[in-house]
Amino acid sequence: MASAAERESMRRALTIAGQGPRGVNPQVGAVILATDGTVLAEGWHRGAGTPHAEVDALSRLAPGEARGATAVVTLEPCNHTGRTGPCAEALIAAGVARVVYAVADPGARSSGGATRLRRAGVDVEAGVLLEEGHALLDSWLAVQSLGRPHVTVKWAQSLDGRAAASDGTSKWITGPAARADVHRRRAQSDVIVVGTGTVLTDDPALTARAEDGTLLPQQPLPVVLGARPVPDDALVHRHPHRFLQYSGDLMAVLDDLRMRGAHRVFVEGGPTVAASFVREGLADELLVYVAPVLLGGDMLALRDIGVDTISHARRLSVSSVQTLGDDMLVIAIPTPTPHAADASCGASGRVGPPTSEGDA
């Protein structure tokens, strides 16, 4: 059972972990406690290639000062050698007597630190403030589970499933409350994705904005899918981040975005791009904003997703339905089906490198 001092130190470790960058590596914090519960040192992971949190904390102590101490860490100490050595071995070498951690390391190569520590005679307690630990690492853990960034596919539609009127006009199907919700979700994402068709037709800025039009503090990286060139005067050139442009396989695009540190990808447009993520089994969450209007015609909000018979329908589990002004937001999670799994098996391949816009 974790002591009060250990639980309080875990809260501190979770706080300082947030000072590290969010990206390919997890945000991790560590606090070293003396036998009387006083804090000897603390540290956090500052990014790829830098000392891990445990080693960062130990480096602030004199040789032998950690002997008999307790290490409180937000993530299970790693047990592999990458750019840095195994944290489990560093703790053993320092003479730490007890390790308390919140979240187990899900990595196939990096996990096993707790077992290594126990074999060396170190007392280990797992799952302390587990819920708070998962909240800190939520998006990173999703990437570890999926093997790629988490993908949310969003579209807005009329009640009869149209994304635009017959003449192609679509501003605005939904009202201010729904649009504000979209901008809030953009700011929570690492990447926003549209196709070249949307860029050429709608000229979106792809920024996250407040209701008064000012930019929100957090801005997603804009990504354009498709081979057609983006005009020099397109609004996306004014985005705070230089956009990336890809053409080719979607899984390879997600692989590259993961290597760039992206955890959450927000796919906004248009109907062809949205359909491609759904068809390939790469949509983890669907956000459908439904306006109480009828448009008719053939401007569907979602193009072909590979459903040629009712038995191949993509089944969904609705997680919530929200009212936003006059509009409705349906949030749904795709339910795996044998047909969908077969389709997603083809979602691996090569993609060309980013264009010069992505070299920044």
DSSP secondary structure code for residue 29 in this structure: E
Give me the phi and psi of 233, to 5 degrees please.
-100, 10
Gyration radius (Cα) of the chain, Å: 24
Q: What is the DSSP letter of 89?
A: H
Task: Quote the tokens at residue 181.
Answer: 């919700």
Q: Directed axis angle between helix 130-146 and helix 4-17, to 10°? A: 40
Which of 144, 212, 204, 140 has the alpha carbon at shortest distance from 170?
204
The string over 260-269, giving b where at least 16 C-beta atoms fall within 10 Å of a residue's C-beta and e elsewhere, is bbbbbbbbbb
φ, ψ of residue 173 in degrees (nearest 5): -70, -45
* Residue 205 burial by Cβ neighbours in a 10 Å radius (0-12, 13-18, 19+): middle
Q: DSSP string spanning 179-224?
A: HHHHHHHHHT-SEEEEEHHHHHHH------B-TTSPBPS--PEEEE
The residue among 359, 274, 344, 287 whose CA lies nearest residue 316 is 287
Active-site choice (6, 8, 42, 54): 54
Does the annotation mark 357 as catalytic? Answer: no
Helices (H) and strands (E) in the chain, counts: 10, 13
- Beta strand extents in the chain (DSSP E only): 29-33, 39-44, 70-75, 98-103, 123-125, 150-158, 191-195, 221-225, 244-246, 264-269, 285-291, 316-324, 327-334
Which residues form the catalytic set? 54
